[in-house]
Each structure stands twice: as C-alpha cells, then as structure tokens.
Amino acid sequence: DVKVTQSSRYLVKRTGEKVFLECVQDMDHENMFWYRQDPGLGLRLIYFSYDVKMKEKGDIPEGYSVSREKKERFSLILESASTNQTSMYLCASSFRGDYQPQHFGDGTRLSIL
C-alpha cells in the first residue's frame, strides 16, 4: 500500500517565520506535488516535481518554494509566513505516465498567527 507521510498533522507558527513542511513517499514515485486545500476553493497546486532537483510552479507559487534533494522527499517552504497562508496543505505523489492516480498524505493543518 502506498504511503505518503507528512511530518506534522497540525502546526502553529508566527507571522514572518520560515516554515518547513516535509513529505516522504515510499513507492519510488517520480512525481510529487504540494497543494493547499481551502473551503470553497478545492485543491490548488502550489508546486510539483517530476524528478530529483526538478521543480515546476503550479497555480499559486507566490510566497512558497520547494526542495527535492532525494526522490522520496519533497519539502514545501514558506519563506516568510503570513496569515493568508493559514490552510490545509496536502502532499501527493504518483508514477509518471498515463492514468496514474495521485496518492495523498493526511495533510498538515497550518495556522499562522
């Protein structure tokens, strides 16, 4: 069974802090993704990665960066957290190729005070 593990279920940080959200998958997936999930807005893609050290911007990359130094790990970084980044953050991974579904982690509920 695919396992996508996010390092924290709940996180509280202060405005201006640098925040790291970690995600690890154990299925040797090439692709990894970071989304934020907000009521009424669905899932919005922040960044994704096709391979180690590769990254692509999604729909809402502003205020975020990512790092993928190893195939199994994809980190989301909030450079200087702001209150409008309070949200649920979801990590996902998938194999490359047609019809490959994404597998999601449990999510990290991040609150910026």
Sort strands 31-38 and 87-94 into parallel, antiparallel or unpaired.
Answer: antiparallel
Q: Residues 57-76 vs another protein: string with x where CB under 8 A? A: -x------------------
Distance CA(43)–CA(60), nearest Å, equals 11
Exactly one of 13, 71, 103, 109 binds another protein (CB under 8 A); that residue is: 103
Applying CB under 8 A, does 31 fall inside the site for another protein? yes
CA distances from residue 75 to 14, 20, 32, 39, 66 in whole angstroms, order as listed = 19, 7, 10, 24, 5
Applying CB under 8 A, does 89 fall inside the site for another protein? no
Residues binding another protein (CB under 8 A): 31, 33, 35, 40-43, 45, 48, 50, 56, 58, 90, 92, 94-107
